[in-house]
Chains A and B, each alone.
Chain A
Amino acid sequence: MLSPGTRVALFATCINDTMKPSIPIATVKLLERLGCTVVYPSKQTCCGQIMTNTGYYKDAVPTVRNYVDSFGEFDYIVGPSGSCVGSVREQHAMLARWAKDAPLEEAATAVSGRTYELTEFLVDVLGVTDVGAYFPHRVTYHPTCHSMRITKVGDRPMQLLKAVRGIDLVDLPMADQCCGFGGTFSVKNPDVSIAMASDKARHVRSTDAEYLVAGDQACLMNIGGVLHRQRSGIKTIHLAEILASTEEEVWVA
């Protein structure tokens, strides 16, 4: 357990910062409620995954450098995204090595070792699974591939969700199968991507849930996009938003 007022640097991620600020806002409120002092280094941008995973290493290296510059001084860096945190941990050192920049590789390895996905930070570092949240809705959880297999968050999100008061948590069929987003996959192979997203949306609908929750906004945007097109009425919500929700202030997505 950390001492009260520990400085935690928020890695908001570019997609959340630009497209879905409610997620980093929820993360800030949650961490502050749990006694952390949250810092937001404004130099930060992105994990570089879009460039890296499309094959453009040269264009991804500046993001590694910028990440190290932005977060190098912090002991705890927390991001509400399994995918982005996974990219920092699995790809930053590789990119620096590719660029033959040994000091950057060393720094990237060190900083990525201090980078946590939100639920890892809550459960492993803060030592809490009951964050005092309240969310009176029927919810189904999609584990997301990168949270599950790259960042390996395990059952931490479920531990946290189960402790939420008022929640009606239902299992998602075929939960561990990919939703078909895959970054540029959804643009390069739109037909397969749509087939996968449609199947995922069908499974979500079968649960009769009001909300689909996950730890990665990109996947929620993909599945939520289909659910909205189908006028299913099912909303998507990020895990941080449910955990930030309290009896005093129920989160509205």
Chain B
Amino acid sequence: MSPTRERLTPEPPSWLGIPPFPEAVKEALGKAEQRKNLRHATGTIRAKRVARADEVDNWEELRTAAAQIKDRVGRHLDDYLVQAEKAMTDAGVTVHWARDGKEANRIVADIAKAKGVDEVVKIKSMATQEIDLNEALEAEGIAAWETDLAELIVQLGHDLPSHILVPAIHRNRSEVREIFRTEMGTYGTPAPAGVSDNPEELTAAARTHLRDKFLRSKMAVSGGNFIIADTGTLVIVESEGNGRMCLTLPETLVSVVGIEKLLPTIEDLEVFLKLLPRSSTGERMNPYTSFWTGVTPGDGPQDLHVILLDNGRTNVLSDPVGRAALRCIRCSACLNICPVYERVGGHAYGSMYPGPIGAILGPQLRGLEEERDRALPYASTLCGACNDVCPVRIPFTDILVHLRHKVAEYKSSKHPTVEGGIMKGAGWVMSDGKHLASVQVASRAAGKLYRGKWIGPMPVPLAGRWLQARDVEAPPTETFREWWKKNREGGQK
């Protein structure tokens, strides 16, 4: 795109400008208002999730069933994909295959151009975020308008989403008012003069702003929550109804769907429609669930395209430990429970998938070449709260540790590292009690030096970082090993 051409849609900042996680968090941690918003929002939704899960007697069995269904899809993905393609084609859907984001974006742009369309309305979709579809369309002279309220706030605010389900979770209503007031008019119907920060007024402004876009658009773009392999049914789940407007008004619908989103039969869907809304919004049922089995004359889109997107997914599938991440149904329960996410929000993860799922999915989809992706598996305390809430039982902590191993291997394959040296040393020390005892001579010496004192801030590597906010009790003058020798040894082993 030439820099002189005027943009059609608000220009977003780039994920690429965000430094690796340990650095990126510094700015996020300093935002008091954002931390308050996040604490409040995640706290509320956590409590709702617990209440809604508790209502279901066989919740744990449902989670197991969901994990098993998803794993079965992964094991036989080739068969299910071919089956789904045939069923969709038979029902009148045009099926496309995209190896990566570039191919998928090309397909969407070509369809739009063939239709003579220069703008599309969009249903909130993580797959299209993942491949940066909006920016690719913008470069082709096609405006892509987000219609989900939170995505609209993000788009108009020249911002990046910071949560899978609630992309504008980091914004409060006065910020939303400001964005609507200054930006809406540039890209369509302006916000009413004197709009307040009352949520009802803001929603009404968004509704009016979006209305002319809905009525004008000839083409909609969506993702897809599920595709039923044996019937070829595309399933889209949403909360606001804006999605349904996109699904019913335009003549053409293009859905970009990750290849892992298949389910074998419609019966399997029952499990997920119980788990997904309860895990994500804390609702018993999501307000809008749309099923499209091909094209029906006179009802809904008359030209339906489904783009089956790989974009790294087959690589994830080839990893026996990491592949469980492909079970993810994008509910964001793991984000909402994560104490790290709660404090730093989504942007610090440097990708559209933040939180625990972002920490395991991003580096697997994109690989480990970038420092940003190598930092993500360490953006967790391994507290395991995400394991417990995940409706498809993704073993987050196991995958995080597995990816850390891959990162460590990656780094040490390049050149020896300080960390590698420390770990090698620790490995030797911990390989035998005699080695440990010899090292404890040093801790005892320090103990004698500091005798009973606490150690405060110190300008030393690694420990210095720790001691910037915490004191440490001096080591004891006698280890347990010695105590035992003095007090118990003799009669026993």
Contact = CB atoms under 8 A, between A and B. Distances in A.
Decide if A and B are genuine partners.
Answer: yes
Contacts of B406: 55
A188 B427 contact: no
Given A21-B480, A195-B29, 12 more contacts: A21-B476, A55-B401, A57-B408, A63-B430, A178-B383, A183-B382, A186-B466, A187-B462, A189-B379, A190-B466, A224-B473, A228-B454
Interface string B260-281: 0000000000000000000000
B380 interface: yes
B470 A197 contact: yes
Interface string B467-478: 011111101101
B465 A190 contact: yes
Interface string A71-113: 0000000000000000000010010000000000000000000
Contacts of A178: 339, 381, 383, 385
Given A52-B401, A191-B29, A221 B472 contact: yes
A185 B397 CA distance: 13
Contact of A17 (B26, B403, B479, B493): B479
Interface residues of B, number: 70
Contacts of A46: 430, 436
B420 A56 contact: yes
6 nearest A-B pairs in the assembled complex, by CB-CB distance: A182-B381, A225-B470, A59-B427, A55-B408, A55-B404, A62-B431
B404 A53 contact: yes
Contact of B433 (A22, A70, A182, A195): A70
Chain A contact residues: over half helix, strand or loop, or mixed?
Answer: helix
Nearest to A20: B476
Interface in B421-441: 423-424, 426-437, 440
B427 A63 contact: yes
B72 interface: no
A191 B427 contact: no
Interface in B382-431: 382-385, 387-388, 397-398, 401, 403-409, 419-420, 423-424, 426-431
Nearest to A48: B430
B185 interface: no
A46 to B, nearest CB: 4
Interface string A42-59: 111110101111111111
B423 A59 contact: yes
A129 interface: no
